Structure formats: C-alpha cells, structure tokens
C-alpha cells in the first residue's frame, strides 16, 4: 500500500465500534461511479485494493476506506469565449442587449454542450478508522477536503460523532517553547523547516528552510513576538513530518528501513503484502500519534 502523506486527525466523541462488514455494506450504497456526459463531478467509495472487491479493508480493528472523486475540467476562459460568441450572435440577430437571466441561461447551455467533451481528473482521499484508539485519520492535503470526505462518510453511516483532535495546550505555544529552550522531547528531533507567525497580524510571517532551527536567529523572532506555527520533525529516525498548529501532519515520509521491512513478502501476492504494509503503517503511526499527544501536553477533553 501507499503510506499516508498527510494526517488530519479526528476523535470520536462517544465510543463506537465500526464493523468492517457492516461498513462495507453501507459503502456499497454510495460506491463510486464515473461521471456521465452531463456530470460535473462524481464522488463515492472505491476499493482500497485495486484487485479487491471490499470497499472497507480491515486488519484487526483497523479499517481503511477510500473516497474517490472525478471532476470535469472546464476552464473559465473557454466557457467565457463560447458564451460571448453566443451572446454576440443573438444580440446581432435580435438587435438588442440580452438580459442577465438570458445570459445565465446561455451559460448553462454552453456548459451543457462542453461537458461531454471535457477532460476529467480523478483524486482519492484515504481514511483510516482506528477502532482501538477511537480515532479517524484522513490523508487529505487540506482541512476542507478532510471535512468533505467525513461528510460523505457521515451521509453513508447516518451519523458520525467526531471532532478534530486537539491538545490541552495550544500547539503553537508548545512548539515555540521547544525552539526557544531547545527542550525537544525524547525521540523527536527538529529538522530544518519552520514557520513563525506574529501574534499581531501586521507582524508578518517568517519561513525557514534548510536551516538550523535552534539558533539565535529563530530566538530573535520569538523574542519579537512570533509563535512557531509549523515545525518539521523526525520521530525515532523512522518518520519525518511537518507538524502544524492545527494538529495536522503534512509531508509525511517513512524511512527506507521501515518501508523495506516487508520486502520478504512476494509483491505478486498483492493482498498479503497490502495487509502486512497496513499493519506496519498503522502500528508505527499509532505510536507516533500517541507520542505526539504526550509530548504536546495531552489531549483536550471533548
């Protein structure tokens, strides 16, 4: 399997155990199907393993599901050009200016005509349901995309009692303290990227790449009133990532040593290799998340 590149984390607000078999049956009702000629976008659930049939893949109490989206690409300038040509033609024929409602109707016609010929792009968002720890982890590059995907899951299940995972102490305060004092928790190492943002809006943002972050320069920004809002870290020489003040992990990279642990399994045995990688991924990520929560001062109560 491809390991997550992002992790936006959510906490279940009441204890629930999601059954993979029951979930699979529910996901079938909103299974992904490609766009038709007049569809602008289609969203649904897809198979986590391309060769598999189940929409919910589980190992133990860990479940992986995949939301797939197809969107038609209609550049605004193409629509505008086609629309203007129609407007010009009609206004010339009728010797009058078209009303706004008429132009809007023409725009709908243009889109209707262009859609069957439009290119489309596909994307997926993966969700890891951790029944043991009552968390849902979303591999999305933005909070909006994560929330949209959770909304699809909520629609599928009927209800989904989750809230963003949050810390008792604001994360930016903890990260700022780490760099100010050099008090990085055991097992974590600061790498070479950070973003510092002024408390007051007019104070600006300072971004650092490929630099020593425990330095006088960083200290001077902190003394001037900036807080650390993003920090790149390494955990146990196993996983590298960037932690943001909203608690999300971005740019997740797993060490080659970790990724090679299952290389003794024949890659032709897709299902066995996928299961082994999923167990490895969920195990390491669970340990990382638990270590982060502890190092950041503990989770806020729901």
Mean pLDDT of 169-185: 93
Interval 243-272: pLDDT, tens = 999 999 999 999 999 988 999 988 788 889
pLDDT at position 49: 92
Please state which of the ranges 141-145, 186-190, 210-214, 223-227 shows the lowest mean pLDDT: 210-214
Strand-strand pairing, 119-130 and 41-46: unpaired
Q: How high is the pLDDT of residue 216?
A: 84
Residue 267 confidence (pLDDT): 78
Q: Per-residue pLDDT tens for 47-92?
A: 999 887 899 999 999 999 999 999 999 999 999 999 999 999 999 9
pLDDT value of position 212: 86
Indicate if the pLDDT at residue 1 is higher than 70.
Answer: no
Mean pLDDT across 14-21: 95
Task: Average the pLDDT over 92-109 and give the result.
Answer: 94
The per-residue pLDDT for 89 is 94
Averaged confidence pLDDT in the chain: 94
pLDDT at 146 over 80: yes
Q: Tell me: pLDDT of 302 over 80.
A: no
pLDDT band at 154 (very low <50, low <70, confident <90, very high): very high
pLDDT for position 269: 87
């Amino acid at each position: 399997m491809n390991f997550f590149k992002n992790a936006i984390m959510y906490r279940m607000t009441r204890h629930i155990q999601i059954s993979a078999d029951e979930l699979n049956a529910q996901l079938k009702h909103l299974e992904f199907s490609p766009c038709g000629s007049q569809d602008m976008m289609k969203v649904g659930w897809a198979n986590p393993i391309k060769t598999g049939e189940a929409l919910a893949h589980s190992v133990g109490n860990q479940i992986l599901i995949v939301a797939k989206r197809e969107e038609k690409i209609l550049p605004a300038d193409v629509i505008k050009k086609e629309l203007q040509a129609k407007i010009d033609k009609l206004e010339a024929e009728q010797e009058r200016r078209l009303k706004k409602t008429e132009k809007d109707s023409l725009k709908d016609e243009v889109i209707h005509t262009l859609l069957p010929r439009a290119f489309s792009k596909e994307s997926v968002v993966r969700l890891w349901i951790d029944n043991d720890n009552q968390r849902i982890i979303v591999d999305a590059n933005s909070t909006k995309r994560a929330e949209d995907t959770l909304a699809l899951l909520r629609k599928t299940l009927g209800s989904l009692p989750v809230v963003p995972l949050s810390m008792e102490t604001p994360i930016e305060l903890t990260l700022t303290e780490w760099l100010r004092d050099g008090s990085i928790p055991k097992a974590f190492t600061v790498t070479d990227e950070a973003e510092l943002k002024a408390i007051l809006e007019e104070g600006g943002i300072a971004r650092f790449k490929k630099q020593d972050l425990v330095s006088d320069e960083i200290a001077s920004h902190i003394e001037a009133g900036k807080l650390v809002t993003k920090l790149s870290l390494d955990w146990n020489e196993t996983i590298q990532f960037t932690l943001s003040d909203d608690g999300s992990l971005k740019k997740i990279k797993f060490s080659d040593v970790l990724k090679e642990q299952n290389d003794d399994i024949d890659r032709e045995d897709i299902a066995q290799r996928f299961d082994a990688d999923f167990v490895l991924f969920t195990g390491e990520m669970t340990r990382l998340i638990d270590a982060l929560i502890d190092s950041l001062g503990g989770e806020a109560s729901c």
